Structure 1
């Protein structure tokens, strides 16, 4: 598993960091934003009998985090294939 040239390696890591920062931004917005900053507005909405702000603070952020792990895995597998460094 090696890159064809140095330019591919730099492009790969640039795309990797881009994916990482986008997913971390989503995680931050969901966990901090929905669970803390916008909790009062979200509590006006009920979800499965609970206030939505409370639900995000207790359960929703965890579900989003697990989903982000699978999204990251899928995106990185396709990135690996794009640059020819996928695992066998």
Structure 2
């Protein structure tokens, strides 16, 4: 039989790993997908005078990465509070 602490720890790590999985998938799609694979299709759309594929490869992925960092921090704070492992 598992103890309540072990179940709580497993639930915490499951939530943490789920969040990390989503973030890594988004990171891959934006950097590799939009910047390399979908670049020719995105180049028909222009943003600020530049093709969108070029923009994602050069600057868009950086903006998305920054957004992911802040989203990760906010979600981890929420997960920490839900599992009562937050810092005061």
TM-score normalised to structure 2 length: 0.94
Matches within 5 A, 1:26-65: 26-65=26-65
Distance across 2 between alignment mates of 1:27 and 1:87: 28
Residue of structure 2 equivalent to 1:7: 7
Residue of structure 2 equivalent to 1:87: 87
Residue of structure 1 equivalent to 2:67: 67
Residue of structure 2 equivalent to 1:18: 18
Distance across 2 between alignment mates of 1:16 and 1:61: 23
How many pairs align? 85
The list of structure 1 runs, each at least 4 consecutive aligned residues, that deviate by more than 6 angstroms after superposition, is: none
Q: Which of structures 1 and 2 has the larger relative contact order (alpha carbons within 8 angstroms, sep 6+)?
A: 1
Distance across 2 between alignment mates of 1:44 and 1:33: 16
In the alignment, structure 1 segments of 5+ residues that lack a partner are none
CA RMSD of aligned residues (A): 0.8
Q: Note the C-alpha offset of 1:80.
A: 0.3
